[in-house]
Structures are given as structure tokens and as C-alpha cells.
Amino acid sequence: MRTFEIKDNEDLIRVKEWIHSRYSSDDNSTETSDTVIKTVQWIVNTVKKSGDIAIAEFTERFDGVTLTPEEFEIPKQEIVKSFNALDSKILKIIETSAENIRTFHSKNLRNSWEETLEDGTVIGQKVTPIEKAGVYVPGGKAFYPSSVLMNVIPAQVAGVKEIIMVSPPSYNGTIHPVVLATAHLAGVTRVFRIGGAQSIAGLAYGTAHIPAVDKITGPGNIYVATAKAMVREIVDIDCEAGPSEVLVIADKNAHPCFVASELLAQAEHDEKACSVLITVQSDKNIIYEVDKTITQFLENLKRKDIIKSSLNNFGAYIIARDWDEVIELTNYFAPEHLSIQTEFPRKIEEKIKNAGAIMLGSMTPVAVGDYFAGPNHILPTGRRARFSSPLTVEDFRKVSNYIFYSQSRLQTQANDIISFAEIEGLTAHAFSVEIRTENRRNTSR
């Protein structure tokens, strides 16, 4: 891991340049290479044109699994069988996690509202769920029942009628039974064993066997993320997720083992994950202790090669001049995960404006948010926490504004509305008001 020690403003600029460079360089950016873009565009266009036939061909080519279009969907009895065969201890863990997620997300619901004014005018907003949601669950190097829960439960709480799940056939030509069992538990409507960019195109455009949806959520590799960005013109998506990241703020009171464990946990996601520790000059000894601890822990971890690559290429220690600078850099970084391991974490937290999920104190590892506490683990990456949020129930709902104007109110406001329309040169707009009122003008049209 590289070390940045800030001694002057030029050093501060260099740190910010490094933070920014992670998302603008070809090595680790959410801005994809020309090769990836061309490949995904080809896949999307082919699926759009040829539907199920294209998806079957891409599934055989990329996943090594031969399926007919009729075999894309996993029969309900197979899903129920996986659920019934699930170990009772695992089932209890997943059920508890699901309940925590449901409870947390149920608090996010907005209500429709309506107001009737004295003259009979009615204004309001109607909040309604989208009709069909598509959920992508990764299935390459590992299987992720937690991703099922984090995507499906908010959609269910929102009132979505149809939830369509897709996942690569990477477990003996199908989807891992624990993922299938979790899908049943969470209430998925239909499950398809297809993945990659082709599955995103299938959900967006629809085929003879795969229904088109209104929104697609869920994490995936660079091909999945690129496909989601490409189909955004016809279907909504959650976000264009990039490599996972954690920023740990630590002071001299932090336990080196706890800090090291957070950096290691994030680094094991993939080689492009970013793990950063930041502290102040007076507490910089914590960095030396953490670095030694990482070396001690690393050799016993299964994914040590991935972790080493991630930490060597995208890990960093940052030594700021004071705590104000720590706050400034944290808000600039806008991390996906922020772990605050200081003596008074809430004093730091109250100054944080940009972060996807904030873990307060030494007893709150990122893993509790990933799996169990209830908040969503689908979070903005790549500095997007400056302007976007974690996945919520409201991402599966939409608002319709409505207006009922009384005759007297339109008459009272007609001149102002007509004048506003004429300011913009939209005379037909003005005429649509004039024709309903006594505010006729001799304006040539």
C-alpha cells in the first residue's frame, strides 16, 4: 500500500489527484475501455434483434452452458425444492437478515398527499410502485444470497407486483441452491438462469420467454454495468456500480486488528477494490501497527492473492495535517463504505456529507451492513455518493403529480399564465388558457 503524508497544500492536491485518478484511469475505472463498450454494444444489439436465440448463444459462449429458451426459466418446483432442502441454521440466519432488511426499508415509505384549496382547486401527488422489477444477482466467483435480499425486499416493500431475477448458470449449469432458496424466501416471482450483458438486454427489451421490466437493479461485473448504462434509455437502473471501496478513519485509540480487518475485507472483493486508511499526523503510528497486522493476517486468508493485488494497486495510507483535513478528504473521496474508528465517532460523522454507508465505532464492521443490520448494501461507488444514495424502497416507486383547477382559479391566474407562455414564445400554450377564460387577446397566431 502506498503512503501519502500531507505536509503542504501541494501534497493535498496530489492526494486528491490520486483519489480522482482511480476513476479516470484505464486500470481501475468505471469508465470502460473501447473493447468492453464495443463488445457490450454488440451483445445488446444482438439480443434486441434476435431475442432468445441470441441469449442462448451468448450463454453457451460465455458461460459454457447449453440451454434452450424453454430452459432459461427455473421451474417453481425446483426453487421450492432448494428452499425445502436448505439447512435449518442457514435458513434461520437468512430469515433474520430478511426481517431486519424489511423492517429498515419499511421506514422509508413516502405517502401520497392531496390538498383542496378554498376555491375548489385540488393539487397532490400520487405515489405508486413500478409494475415489474428486474434483479441481477452475480454468480461468477461466488454466490450471493445477500444480493437477493438487498434487491428483492425493498422492491417487495414498495409494492412491486412482479420481481424477475436473473443470475448466471455458474453452479452446475444452474443457480446455486442457496440463492434459489433465498429467492423463494424473499418472494421473487420468476427466476432465470441467464447472466452477463445478455441478461440485462433481455430484461430491458423483453423476449418471447423473458419479460421486459421497468427497472433493473443489482451489482455485476464491468460487462453487466456497461449493459445497464446502455439500456438506460428505455429502462431505469439503480446505478452504474464500480469497484468496491472502504475508507477507514482511525485515531490512536483504534485497534490495529479491527482497522486491518476492514481493509482486508474490502480488498478481497476483487483486484480493483480500494481500501484506504486515513489519520492525522499526531496519530500516524496507527498506520505502522495496521500495516504489520495486515501482513500477519494476510497469509491465512483464502483470497490472499486477490487481496495482495488490490492493496498493492489501489490501497493507501493517508496522513493528514489535522482532523479538518481528514473531513475534507473524506467528503472529497465520497466513499462507498466509511468506517469511523475513533474515540468519538459521532463527532466525525456529523461533519460527513458524502458517504454511501457509515459504520460508527470499532464494533461495527462493514460486514454487518453487508449482511444483517438492515440498511442496504447496494451503494454508490466511484465518488457518486456526492449525488446519489443507497438503494431504497423509493427506487421502486414513482410519483405522479395531479392538478384540478377550478374555473375561478384559472380565471384569476389566466393573465399571468398567458404572459409567461408568451415570454417563452409559446403562443399555443397561451391560447390554451385564453380559450377557457375571458382573457382573450387579439394576438395573431
Catalytic residues: 336-337
Question: Which of helix, strand or coil describes residue 291?
Answer: helix
Q: Which three cell numbers stand for residue 80?
A: 421450492
- DSSP single-letter state for residue 159: T
Separation CA 361–CA 262 (nearest Å): 12
**286 close to 326: Cβ distance less than 8 angstroms:** no
- Residue whose cell numbers read 470499532: 362
d(CA 43, CA 48): 9
The H-assigned helical ranges of 276-426 are 285-298, 304-314, 323-333, 345-349, 366-371, 407-423
Distance CA 389, CA 380 (A): 6
H/E element holding 50?
A: helix 34-50
CA-wise closest residue to 133 among 147, 106, 153: 153
Are 150 and 163 in contact by the 8 Å Cβ rule? The answer is no
- Find the length of the chain: 445
Question: CA angle 287-291-294, nearest 5°?
Answer: 135
CB-based contact 307:267 (threshold 8 Å): yes
The cell numbers describing 435, all together, are 380559450
Longest dimension (CA), the chain: 86
Q: Give residues with Cβ within 8 angstroms of 233, minimum separation 6.
A: none
Per-residue cell: 391: 438503494
Helices (H), 315-406: 323-333, 345-349, 366-371
C-alpha cell at 382: 466511484
231 within 8 A of 201, measured Cβ to Cβ: yes
